[in-house]
Structure 1
Amino acid sequence: MIFKLLLLTGFILTLHGCSVNLSNSSNNNYDVGQNYISRYLVPNQLPAPATIKSVQLYRKGNTNSPPVIKLGSSEQLVLSFDELSNASGQFRITFTHHDQQWNPSNIPQDWYLAGMNEVIVGGGKKNQLSEPDYFHYSTEFPNDQLSFETSGNFMLHVIDFSSGTRLFSLPFFVTEEAGEMTSWVETKYNAGRRFGALDRPFSEYIYPDFIEFPQFDLSFYFAQNRFWGDIKQSEHFDFSEEDRTQFHLSEDNAFPANFDFIGLNLNNFSVDGSQIIDWFPERNPPEVILRRDILNFSATPSSGWRTSFGNPETGVESRYANIRFRFQDGGDFSSNQGVYLVGDFNQWVLSEDNKLKYNNQTGYWETSELIKEGTYTYKYAIKSGRDGIDDLILSDAVTRSNQEYTSFVYFQDPDYRYQRLLNVQVFRSSASR
């Protein structure tokens, strides 16, 4: 153990320098020092550029599963994405380990990863139908060449092989499934902003035998709807029982119980009379016009929501189109106020690329997004303060809808001083005790 601790000390500065270089490379398409406004993005995560579309990361076997695998198991994660290009490319995927706040763990690579810290992805499948041209890529990990040696928060980084440019990164989790966890939700009505309902998730965790000082070595977190960038640490604990603890959020730190999504069904680019009202296949790229959304009227809470990425089609005949969104606010916002389209097709990021423009002739806020055939969810949002997001003001502000929550239990390893992820549990607000 002493040898490993000495080894860790010698590696800290080197690894810290590597992480800084990774985050601030001048070759990046984005300035990663920029504060991207998104509930999904975690610190140090790089969003995908405009040339990368239909990104997915899920546990193999179910595209709706969260990016969580068990340490030492046969479970794998699947990464897939499209590159808008008329030529096949090649990519390197590397991995970094992080603490529960997404800071680099600064432990030697061979402590958290066995094999080469590299997955090469190339070839790709070219689309067979309309413009724009794209290639679809997919890979699975861990595999015979790479495995994870410790639990915790991880991030994968997709790098262009020829230029060395880091294109984007994604968070995922490796859990030990140590101990036992039971979770539930308590809802309080008329307690939130604009008199909306609030959800307070609760969990009870039974410790594994190796936990000696739970009050000092354990920390607890909750995430809503897989928005990893908006994760909240539990401030309340009950250690009165010898073998377990209960933890929960305070009312001041509770989640909105009325967070809803608008469903987007693009399985077929054709006029359906309900959502798609016009279709122009002759344009390059093709264009789809959606029925207008109306403030506090068209919100359709989706109890079946289970993914941050949507479900884009993966076949070589799947098409992209410019999807025209139109939003009617009832005159509540001035023409110079920023309204943004956020969804699982753009990593829920508020950016100038998805800012709506007010059309004085129609009275609608409008924008277009290049999206592949499939099913998605989205919302309209405004900026709140300098770095915040208000994605509830433009939706149903009262109705309680079924939310998905994730509980995390972290253990500060007393020997090696890094954060192990002991247990993860996904549950819904319909769960009660």
Structure 2
Amino acid sequence: MSTKNSYIFVLNKANYLIKNKYGFFSLKYLVTLCSLFTIFNQIDAQNSLKDYVSPALKTVQLHRNDWPLSYPIIRLGSDQTLVLSFDEPGSQIKDYYYTIVHCDAQWNPSPLMPTDYIQGVPVNPITDYSYSFNTTMDYVHYQLSFPNLSIRPLISGNYVLEVFEGPTGGKTVLRKRFYVNEPLVKIESYVRNRQSSATEPDYQEINFEIIHKGLSINNPVEEVTVTVMQNGRTDNVISGLRPRFFGGDRMDFNFIRETEMEAGNEFRYLDIRSFRFYTDRIEEIVFEDPFYHVSVVPERPRFPSSYQYRQDLNGRYYIEADTRENPDTEGDYAFVHFRLFCDIPFISKRIYINGALTNWLLDSSSEMEYDPVINAYRTTLMLKQGYYNYQYVMVERGETQGEVFQLENSYYETENDYLILVYYRKQGERTHRLIGAEVINSARSLQGSGK
């Protein structure tokens, strides 16, 4: 059954129950019907569901409760929860609703009915919101914790959290991916480095074996697929990996080149926890009524250069405001100005500022423009007080995957996180389960050059 037909089935069934069993149209059920109808039309028009953030929303974060630097992964059937938070400048409260959509390993909507993967009500309002307090920029802070009493995933796999305006499935303003894991396998992994010449990037190769003791897998090559993600980047994800060898309760994923990624460099950083004191990467802080403007120290490409270790957040950020007790609502915003000096522009390439501060998206919101007057790429981001990591990424026109070598350099010693996701689709099943998720850190597992 297609995704669209699945939703039609649910709508018809709910319509029958409301009209024949209850004898009247409850407003709650009518809202759910309208929302689902709109949502399945939007979903059916897409293939892979990608992250999306409306330009109207700022500081979008999705992570484990009380763990702001974590990946959005929870264990099936546990009491673990995810927290979504975001700000919207202004003082008007919006009527936001949310739902979750189950996807296969390629992030295509699963051919399942919502009742197959959702326990509770498929569409729910976001009711937790607060006004900013004592800030130069007014905003409304929204927060959602789930799974909750209203909605809970029933099966493992890839999920998309979708937020939209109005109770009838209006315009989508936010779409974020998350994972529900049922840990049925063990992942034994390590990172091997490959040192290149001075004019080529160094690479890190992620190798691993999967032990599925107690889980019968009849045809691993057809039923198991693996995805590898570097830090939080979405443009260079390696997916669709199949085992090279298998036997007994082990599957081998030790490849030669298939799991290589540019090692990159330690992330650049920006500290704007205070607008009163200049940190080492701030050139100027100016209050131009009614807002703050922060100019970052002018930067240059880090190629050529030598490797220097610096502890970082691997592209993430956290919100914190000096002298403020609650940065969620008391943290202020500033327009932050970035400049990357280049003597001449890259004719066939686009330059982006990348990291969680731009939602790891390489689009118009993160693209930098070349200014010939100062011979630099520049962009301005509206950022909340906090501590940020970022890097500059170059993308060939017509391509979607970025490269960091020419702007950031690439060293095999660089510390990176790699998220390994193991999907299982047994013969006859309609979608993938997520049966293993493991984060490996390159600095704790490097095997040495050429090994």
Residue of structure 1 equivalent to 2:104: 99
User: Secondary structure of the equivalent of 1:274?
Assistant: coil
Q: Which among 248, 252, 267 is matched to residue 242 of structure 1?
A: 248
Residue of structure 2 equivalent to 1:22: 42
Whole-angstrom distance in 2 between the partners of 1:327 and 1:271? 23
User: Secondary structure of the equivalent of 2:115?
Assistant: helix
Residue of structure 2 equivalent to 1:304: 312
User: Secondary structure of the equivalent of 2:291?
Assistant: coil
Greater CA radius of gyration, 1 or 2? Answer: 2
1:327 paired with 2:340, answer yes
Whole-angstrom distance in 2 between the partners of 1:291 and 1:340? 17
Whole-angstrom distance in 1 between the partners of 2:221 and 2:346? 51
Residue of structure 1 equivalent to 2:383: 371
Between the aligned residues of both structures, percent identity stands at 22
Residue of structure 2 equivalent to 1:154: 159
Residue of structure 1 equivalent to 2:13: none
Deviation at 1:171, TM superposition (A): 0.3
1:345 paired with 2:357, answer yes
Instruction: Map 1:4-403 onto structure 2 (within 5 A).
Output: 11=6, 21-23=41-43, 43-122=48-127, 124-161=129-166, 164-190=170-196, 194-213=199-218, 214-233=220-239, 235=241, 237-272=243-278, 274-296=280-302, 303-306=311-314, 308=316, 310-313=317-320, 314-329=327-342, 331-333=343-345, 338-388=350-400, 389-398=402-411, 400-403=413-416
Deviation at 1:271, TM superposition (A): 4.2
RMSD: 3.1
User: Secondary structure of the equivalent of 1:111?
Assistant: helix
Q: Does the CA-based 8 Å contact 1:112-1:150 persist in structure 2?
A: yes
Unaligned runs of at least 5 residues, structure 2 = 11-35, 321-326
Q: Does the CA-based 8 Å contact 2:119-2:151 persist in structure 1?
A: yes
Size of the aligned set, in residue pairs, is 410
Deviation at 1:46, TM superposition (A): 4.5
- In the superposition, relative to structure 1, how do residues 235 and 165 fare at CA in structure 2: closer, same or farther (>3 Å)? closer
Deviation at 1:106, TM superposition (A): 0.9
User: Secondary structure of the equivalent of 2:125?
Assistant: strand
Deviation at 1:125, TM superposition (A): 1.3
Deviation at 1:363, TM superposition (A): 3.2
1:199 is aligned with what amino acid? Answer: Q
Q: Does the CA-based 8 Å contact 2:285-2:294 persist in structure 1?
A: yes
User: Secondary structure of the equivalent of 1:21?
Assistant: helix
Q: Give deviations 1:101-139, integer Å, cap 9, x for gaps.
A: 011111111111111112321352111233321111111
Whole-angstrom distance in 1 between the partners of 2:54 and 2:309? 29
2:313 is aligned with what amino acid? Answer: W
Whole-angstrom distance in 2 between the partners of 1:232 and 1:126? 41
User: Secondary structure of the equivalent of 2:280?
Assistant: coil
User: Secondary structure of the equivalent of 2:389?
Assistant: strand
Unaligned runs of at least 5 residues, structure 1 = 1-5, 26-31, 34-42
Whole-angstrom distance in 2 between the partners of 1:334 and 1:12? 47
1:316 is aligned with what amino acid? Answer: T
Q: Does the CA-based 8 Å contact 1:95-1:117 persist in structure 2?
A: yes
TM-score by length of 1: 0.85
Q: Which runs of 4+ in 1 moved over 4 A?
A: 6-10, 12-20, 297-303, 334-338
Q: Give deviations 1:20-68, integer Å, cap 9, x for gaps.
A: 622488xxxxxx89xxxxxxxxx32252122100011011121111100
Whole-angstrom distance in 2 between the partners of 1:382 and 1:8? 36
- In the superposition, relative to structure 1, how do residues 333 and 66 fare at CA in structure 2: closer, same or farther (>3 Å)? same
Whole-angstrom distance in 1 between the partners of 2:144 and 2:8? 32
- In the superposition, relative to structure 1, how do residues 211 and 9 fare at CA in structure 2: closer, same or farther (>3 Å)? farther
